[in-house]
Amino acid sequence: MYQAPRGTRDFTPEEMQKRQYVEENIRSTFQSFGYQEIQTPTFENLKLFTAKSGETIIDEIYSFTDKGGRDLALRPELTAPVIRFYVDKLQMRPKPLKLFYFGNCYRYDRPQKGRYREFRQAGCEIIGVDTPEAYAELIALSYTILEKLGLKNIQLNIGNLRILDCLFKKYKLTKKQQKYITPLIDKSQYTDLQDALKDFNLSDKNSKEFIEALQLSNINKLQGYIEINGNIEKEISKQKQIMNLLRDSFDIKNYHFKLGIVRGLDYYTDIVFEIEAPELGAEKQLCGGGGYELIRLFGGKETPTAGFAIGFDRTILALETEGYIFPTSRLDAYVIPVNKEMISKSLQIAQQLRKQGCIIDVDLMRRGIGKSLKYANSRNSKKAIIVGPDELKQNSVTIRDMETGEQKLVEIKNILEYIK
């Protein structure tokens, strides 16, 4: 017997209903913010990803050589392809350029709960602007998407890599040391972080202060931890403006400043943010993004860029954990010919109703009323339309309400009003 490859999934009709709901809902929120949808190929030239993330990424992705000798890779994420597309074909468009997209991504990872080798992401980029209002709108968009999907319990954290860099500099941490502790900061592993800082010869007092600073949630208390002047003063002021706009213009109050947000990726430059569903534990991060630089690396004219990505699987997991009732599609009616002679008329009635916007199925197996009603039930049909010779002589059919069992003789020309 054949099975789906390890780490990949087949989606049943019930699962696809949830995924389609999530996709359509996200699409409409992106559009309401003036974003436009684009799409890039499923695979790219491998060097696109090594240019961005270094050769080590090859260990984590699906790379292969095609029959023409090209080194290709199934995309592990969507930002690099989108910026490649921008540099190649969209640079001349009026700014800001607001782009969104959906796409499957691939990582050669050990499959585990909430992590798959093929997974779907939604994401966006805003290109050509880095004002506080642009960042505020971007962050508000990510929050609005999750809120509009129906999530109740989400938490937005906003950090800033330029301010974090200031903290690194204060304690004279080298680039190599920063790189080592970044994953520990990202995962809030403060005991391990303390050990590392000790190895780097920070005093206990300095180490304690460093870790306190990472956990600050009030931006106004920063001055106790770093020296505030010049560019950093401007950066902090920008951060405050963004947070004020979120509160005042977008009515989002459920956010925290958090210096300890570093994101896993090297190319972020300033503002970074994450949205979590705390109930999900280790898989709590639903969304991550920030400002970054990638255009020049791909040969384009540098211009500000920011964006975020939302994971489908965790978002659905979060909705399920909150007990969210996903909308389900039902059959409006199941049409049952009582004998062979009624088939043609039954198909015709079904087709007419479909043309009028109804969701209609019809018995194609000639299995009689009892079994057909059972099938209609299994398909969660609202009504059954029974087409028999006696009724047909009166240009009528019997409509049965599948919930109450009530039956009614209805003229064919009036069926629609009994169905919709």
The interface region with a copy of itself, picked from 150-158, 177-185, 354-362, 394-402 by CB under 8 A, is 354-362
The interface region with a copy of itself, picked from 88-96, 164-172, 199-207, 265-273 by CB under 8 A, is 88-96
CB nearer to a copy of itself: give 104 or 178: 104
CB nearer to a copy of itself: give 358 or 415: 358
Which tokens belong to 224? 């106790």
CB nearer to a copy of itself: give 280 or 297: 297
Number of residues near a copy of itself (by CB under 8 A)? 99
CB of 369 to a copy of itself, least distance (A): 16
CA dist., res. 137 & res. 79, Å (int): 19
Amino acid at 356: Q
Nearest CA to 147 among 7, 255, 49, 5?
255
Binding of a copy of itself by 72 (CB under 8 A): yes
Binding of a copy of itself by 170 (CB under 8 A): no
- Long-range Cβ pairs for the range 180-185 (8 Å, 24+): 182/262, 183/264, 185/214, 185/260, 185/262
CB of 29 to a copy of itself, least distance (A): 8
Which residues, 271 to 310, sit near a copy of itself by CB under 8 A? 298-299
- Long-range Cβ pairs for the range 107-115 (8 Å, 24+): 107/60, 107/61, 107/62, 107/76, 108/59, 108/60, 108/61, 108/62, 109/7, 109/60, 111/6, 111/7, 113/282, 113/283, 114/280, 114/282, 114/283, 114/313, 114/314, 114/317, 115/283
What is the pattern of x (binds a copy of itself, CB under 8 A) and - over residues 136-155? xx--x---x-----------
Binding of a copy of itself by 20 (CB under 8 A): yes
CB nearer to a copy of itself: give 23 or 212: 23
Among 256, 345, 388, 416, binds a copy of itself (CB under 8 A): 345
Which residues, 358 to 377, sit near a copy of itself by CB under 8 A? 358-362, 364-366, 375
CB nearer to a copy of itself: give 186 or 361: 361
All residues at 6 or more sequence positions from 354 whose CB lies less than 8 Å from its CB, including other chains = 360
Tell me the CA distances in angstroms from 164 to 68, 202, 226, 296, one per residue in order: 46, 17, 10, 24
Among 56, 67, 191, 323, binds a copy of itself (CB under 8 A): 67
Among 25, 50, 104, 206, binds a copy of itself (CB under 8 A): 104
CA 73 to chain centre: 22
Among 13, 69, 230, 323, binds a copy of itself (CB under 8 A): 13
Among 90, 211, 280, 392, binds a copy of itself (CB under 8 A): 90
CA dist., res. 167 & res. 223, Å (int): 11
